[in-house]
Amino acid sequence: MSYNNTIKRLKLLENAKPYYSEKQLASIEHAIDFASKAHAGQKRASGEPYISHPLSVADILVDWGMDIDSVLAGILHDTIEDTETLDADIEKLFGKDVAFLVNGVTKVSKARSGMRNLDNYLPQTKDNLSKLLIAVGQDIRVIIIKLADRQHNLSTLQYLPKKKQQKIARESLEVFAPMADRLGMGRVRMQIEELAFSYLDPVEFKKLKILMRKRLGKSTRKLGEVRVQVETELKKHNIKFEVNGRVKSVYSLHKKLQKVDGNIDNIYDLMALRVIVDKKEDCYLVLGILHSLYQPMISRIKDYISTPKPNGYQSLHTTVITPNEQIVEFQIRTQEMHEYAERGLAANFHYNEQKTTKDYIKSKKSSTLPANMQWITQLQSVVTKLKQDEKISKDQLNVDLFVDRIFVYSPKGDIYNLPEGALPLDFAYLVHSDIAKHTYGFRVNNKIHPFDKPLQNGDVIEIITRKLSLPKQAWQEMVTTTHARNKLRGQLRQIGVIGIITNATSIMRRKSDRKKEKEENAIKK
């Protein structure tokens, strides 16, 4: 092992020491020795020995707070794909769970080739997405390890040819950044987007970076004064707090500018102040204090604590105008909320061996997952259909995988998670297919709601049923999710609606063919 990799090895072990037992640290050393021998003689595009990559991936996983099996899989993740190592070797030395994770990461790696352009929905893309879905459906840690792998690969992209840089960057932006966002891993999403965007559009990236530097240079001093005022006021109220700054990422600015016709003056959150407190109650207390100090922009007050974002993000947001007419955004959250905002689902592992990832993630019962993570178990139905080789369109996969999510509620307060743009029947079939079957109408927020009007985040939905009501052919245009569409089609077949319509179409086609044949014969005569 080279001098640089010896340093990386020591750094990984040093970073891991506070969080893992002596036995676990020994298993990390064992995995490093095994991977070093397996990758002996292999080089990265940078010229470094290959082992430098798995060491870096494992270090990222330690930083994210992942469990010991994930860290070991991070060290070993390329051994099956790139060396003579077999699944059985990993299982014998490191256990079934580690072998399963390494095998899952290998499947996702093999799926990459068909994911470079989701707009070209070719048969091989379906096959590759199938592998990705199966990997996710079985254990979400596979994707978290893959995200660590992708983050490190992006950081060393400069050593690859330009064409390959573009391919990896686009794939990162289209597939892996949305996946990180769905897992609530905000910091990871931002890092992936930032690196990928810098390779996809380097001219625009540099231009926006210069623009941001100029803007921030003017406002940093004024923002420092606001920070001092806020800290002084919070101390008077004996609130335990921490204040820090947050600068908008270049890629986020790029997307925001597209929404405001390129006018940066309409963007108020280039830099924000973040207030972190101990308790949820203190979040609302701080909000009141800020509004007593400065004039709030009412339309820009967002309570993501009582109604979290679809990926589980919680925080209070408010934008205020100071006496010197500076516009400042504040984010207010607890330390726990901040941990989740930064690390998302990875924050749930917290090196906690008592709350095993097997119980938390591998269970197929959606009730064992937080509401914002129920989409993971919903992928099971898509995986099943793909395994059975049933037709699933690119649009359906996009709805289920890559669009934003919303939270909706039953009248009893149960939380359900749906893709943005979902319709009431999607909700009904998610609650129970037998209830959906007898749907007569919907009340949303105590008002009658049409079948074809999309639901909104936070809606309270009541399903009105009648025993004599049955699914209709027209309902197929009033569902958006794969789950609802499949359940509905099954019911329509059961009551003979699809069969009757298909048969009628067949009769009409035969009649048309006979008529056409007679006309052709008449012409010949």
Looking only at Cα atoms, what is the longest distance across the chain? 103
Please say whether the beta carbons of 487 and 433 come within 8 A: yes
Q: Is 82 a catalytic residue?
A: yes
Residues in the chain: 525
Record the tokens describing residue 195, joined without a space: 């690196």
| d(C-alpha 175, C-alpha 159), whole Å | 22
| d(C-alpha 493, C-alpha 85), whole Å | 49
Q: Is 149 a catalytic residue?
A: no
Record the tokens describing residue 436, joined without a space: 């959906």
Outline where DSSP puts E strands in 214-267.
Answer: 241-247
| d(C-alpha 271, C-alpha 331), whole Å | 11
Percent helix, strand and coil across the chain, each to the nearest 5: 60, 10, 25
In a 13 Å sphere around the CA of 247, the CA atoms on its Cβ side amount to: 12
Q: Which residues contact 181 (CB under 8 A, 6 or more apart)?
A: 189, 311
Q: To 5 degrees, how large is the angle CA 157–CA 160–CA 164?
A: 90
Please say whether the beta carbons of 150 and 78 come within 8 A: no
Considering 29, 48, 81, 87, which one is annotated as catalytic? 81
Record the tokens describing residue 41, joined without a space: 């003689």
Please say whether the beta carbons of 245 and 274 come within 8 A: yes
| d(C-alpha 302, C-alpha 417), whole Å | 20
Considering 29, 82, 201, 231, which one is annotated as catalytic? 82
b/e sequence 221-242, b meaning 16+ C-beta within 10 Å: eebeebbeebeeebeeeebebe
Q: Give catalytic residues, as residue numbers.
A: 81-82
